[in-house]
Chain A
Amino acid sequence: MSLLELESVDAAYGKAKVLHGVSLKVEKGERVAILGRNGVGKTTLVNTCIGVARLNGGQVSFGGKKVSTIRAFTAARSGLAIVPQGRRIVPGLTVRENLILGSAPNRSGPWNQEAVFNLFPILRERADTLGTAMSGGQQQMLAIGRALMANPDLLILDEPSEGLAPVVVDELGDALVRLAQNGTSILLIEQNFGLVHKISERYYVLSKGSVVEQGSMRGLSLESLKKHVSV
């Protein structure tokens, strides 16, 4: 049973058609990467899964169940947790409050505040400061922690390394590897090929809104990967 499956999905923002016949799936326990240059529709793919981009054709399924009306909160309750591009830490809320917000789907599982604090100890130290007052790297940790608080079946990360210093990306990568080793299913949308290579088992390449290539990361060299993700 696939945690997420897109079958021949067409999606658009208003009249602007962005995705054309995209099909992909993520199975339980898999780490899958979506590669592609800027503007090819990677974020639109995520937005289609939460109903922000309009589904014009095709079918989206969460956990094997076809979804007729996609809405952001139903996606979260169905087990999809998203670490959005730009992190979207809620202004005015403390780190702790952002984490509590993440637990809104009320799903059972290993993740709670303590477990997130153990994964990212800096969040424990800064629990009562405003989330938006932290550095970019710390905010990214908070965004990941917030997503984990939902005890998701599938963690979707949209460009988590964007705007971060290389040393912070390494730290983030290590945390994601630990998550992957614990069996967390991950869909990673990323242009940092080092991070993609470290985490993913399979990949899809998007170009002009369509999947143009897919395969196993095992056979893919860093050089070929670079070709797909370079701007």
Chain B
Amino acid sequence: MIIQVLNGLVYGGMLYILSVGLVLLFGLRRVVNFAHGGLFMLGAYAGYAASMQFGFWGGVVFSVVALAVLGALLDRLVFRPLQNVDHMITVLVTYGLLLVFEDFVHTVWGADLISVRVPALLAGTIGIGDTQFPVYRLVVIAVAIAVALGLSAWLHFSRAGLYVRASSVDSLTTAMQGVDTERLSIGVVALGTALAGLSGVVAAPLIALSPSMGSSILIESFIVVVTGGLGSFVGAFIAAIVIGQVHNFGVVYLPNVSSMLPLLLMVGVLIWRPTGLARTQS
């Protein structure tokens, strides 16, 4: 049982790192980014490519930095122009971007599944009860917790974090206080895409890399964001952990309907609290 819970935490942790990037982007730009799954995939492939030259950890650093730079570019060229347009246009453009990313990866690395090895340092297992559990999976949980704590500390105890919280609820008033909300948004979007890259590269040793890996996780990351409450960091954390467990227990005990369970959970939460778990009605 404890192993199932831990596996749920691994999946939930991965989902959280990915979804919190969506939350950041939505909070500052009000853009629902369908290309986010593509950024997760690019992160995984960028990390894989760099790890061939610089090892796993070099790949992690490269992936995070490359995705941050890509995020800043996307913010300037795509998200910023999209922030005040019809949501349907946003959906079409960002979904189009996802397809472009998939085609790019397909062209460069092909359609075959690629496996990434767990770094030697973390390749072992650890005894939990009478079962062995992979150390790397515990590291994924630790990374998710570190991201959650780091983000929370940054948002609540730093001036930049205060500006981000203010700007995500009232961008004009924040700008009227002297905050350059455009520059702030570029930084925050870059952080969000860097986290998508981090989730991709961290997930790479656990899942096979393929050009379609972004599309499959995108739906569940949206379920996390909506269930948690659009724009809520705490909500995204709670939702990711819960959905990780639902996903994992579903795969083990209800394999025939496991893919439906997160959706059913989201519907149930939205009927109970239409604004999501952690967002109050404004």
- Which A residues between 70 and 89 are near B, CB-CB below 8 angstroms? 71-73, 75-77, 82, 84, 88
- Is B162's CB under 8 angstroms from A93's CB? yes
Grouping DSSP codes into helix (H, G, I), strand (E, B) and loop, the A interface class, with mixed when no group exceeds half, is loop
**Do the beta carbons of B159 and A105 come within 8 Å of each other?**
no
- Is A76 touching B162 in the complex (CB atoms < 8 A)? no
- Partner pick for A104 among B163, B165, B169, CB 8 A cutoff: B163
> Contacts A52-B172, A84-B173, A91-B282 known; A73 to B180 CB distance under 8 Å?
yes
Collect the chain A residues with CB atoms within 8 Å of residue B175's CB.
Answer: 50, 71-73, 76
Point out the residues of chain A lying under 8 angstroms from B177, CB to CB.
73, 76, 101-102, 104-105, 146, 150
Q: In the assembled complex, how far is the CB of residue B42 from the closest CB belonging to chain A, in whole angstroms?
A: 32
B159: contacting residue among A71, A92, A100, A146, CB under 8 A: A100
**How far does the alpha carbon of A216 sit from the alpha carbon of B169 in the complex, in Å?**
41
B173 touches A73 (CB 8 A): no
Evaluate contact between A101 and B163: CB separation under 8 angstroms. Answer: yes
Q: Is the CB of B162 within 8 A of A101?
A: yes
- Asked if B166 lies at the interface with its beta carbon under 8 angstroms from chain A, I say yes
Q: Which of A50, A73, A84, A146 contacts B179 (CB 8 A)?
A: A73
Asked whether B178 lies within 8 Å of A91 as measured between CB atoms, the reply is no
- Residues of B contacting A77 with CB < 8 Å? 178
Give B169-187 as 1s and 0s: 1 = Cβ < 8 Å from A's Cβ atoms.
1101111111111000000
- B162 contact set on A, CB distance < 8 A: 93, 97, 100-101
Please report the number of residue pairs spanning A and B whose Cβ atoms sit closer than 8 angstroms: 61
CB distance from B24 to the nearest CB of A (A): 15
- CB contacts (< 8 Å) of B176 on chain A: these are 50, 72-73, 75-76, 82, 84, 88
Known: A72-B175, A104-B163. A91 touches B180 (CB 8 A): no
Chain A residue nearest to B165 in the complex (CB): A92
Chain A residues contacting B179 (CB-CB under 8 Å) are 73, 101, 104
Is the Cβ of B172 less than 8 Å from the Cβ of A90? no
A107 to chain B, nearest CB (A): 8
Question: Chain A: how many interface residues by the 8 Å CB criterion?
Answer: 24
Residues of A within 8 A of B163 (CB): 101, 104
A77 to B177, CA, bound (A): 8
Of B166, B181, B282, the contact of A93 (CB 8 Å cutoff): B166
For A82, the chain B residues whose CB sits under 8 A away are 176
A75 CA to B262 CA, complexed, in Å: 47
User: Which residues of the partner chain B approach A97 to less than 8 Å between Cβ atoms?
Assistant: 162, 166
Chain B nearest CB: distance from A67 CB in Å? 15
Q: Which of A50, A71, A101 contacts B174 (CB 8 A)?
A: A101
Contacts of A88 in B (CB 8 A): 170, 172-173, 176
Q: How long is the Cα–Cα vector from A71 to B172 in the complex, in angstroms?
A: 10
Chain B residues lying within 8 Å of A73, measured Cβ to Cβ, are 175-181
Bitwise, B106-122 to A at CB < 8 A (1) or not (0) is 00000000000000000
A93–B165 CB distance below 8 A:
yes
Q: Mark B143-180, 1 if CB is under 8 A from A, else 0.
A: 00000000000000001001101100110111111111
CA–CA, A92 and B282, complex, Å = 11
Given known pairs A101-B162, A101-B163, the reply for A92 and B169 (CB within 8 Å) is yes
Most buried by A among B163, B166, B169, B176: B176
In the bound assembly, the distance between CA atoms of A122 and B278 in angstroms comes to 30
- B263-282 residues with Cβ-Cβ distance < 8 A to A are 282
In the complex the two chains form, what is the Cα distance from A97 to B164 in whole Å?
A: 12
User: Smallest distance from the beta carbon of B236 to chain A beta carbons, Å?
Assistant: 16
CA distance A104 to B179 in the complex (A): 6
- B188-243 contacts to A (CB < 8 Å): none
Closest chain B residue to A89, Cβ basis: B173
* A92 to B169 alpha-carbon distance, docked (Å): 8
Nearest CB in chain A to that of B183: its residue: A73
* Bound form: Cα–Cα A150–B159 in Å: 15
Residues in B neighbouring A106, C-beta threshold 8 A:
178
Select from chain A the residue with minimum beta-carbon distance to B176. Answer: A72
**Shortest Cβ distance from residue B164 to the other chain A in the assembled complex, whole angstroms:** 11
Residues A150 and B170 in contact, CB atoms below 8 Å apart = no
A93 to B165 Cα, complex, angstroms: 8
Interchain CB contact under 8 A, B166 and A90? yes
Query: Is the beta-carbon distance between B178 and A150 smaller than 8 angstroms?
Result: yes
Which residues on A sit within 8 Å (CB–CB) of B282? 91
Contacts of A71 in B (CB 8 A): 175
4 further A-B contacts with Cβ under 8 Å, apart from A77-B178, A93-B166, A101-B163, are: A72-B175, A92-B169, A101-B177, A105-B177
Closest 8 pairs between A and B when the two form their complex, measured CB to CB: A105-B178, A76-B178, A72-B175, A104-B178, A88-B173, A73-B175, A90-B166, A104-B177
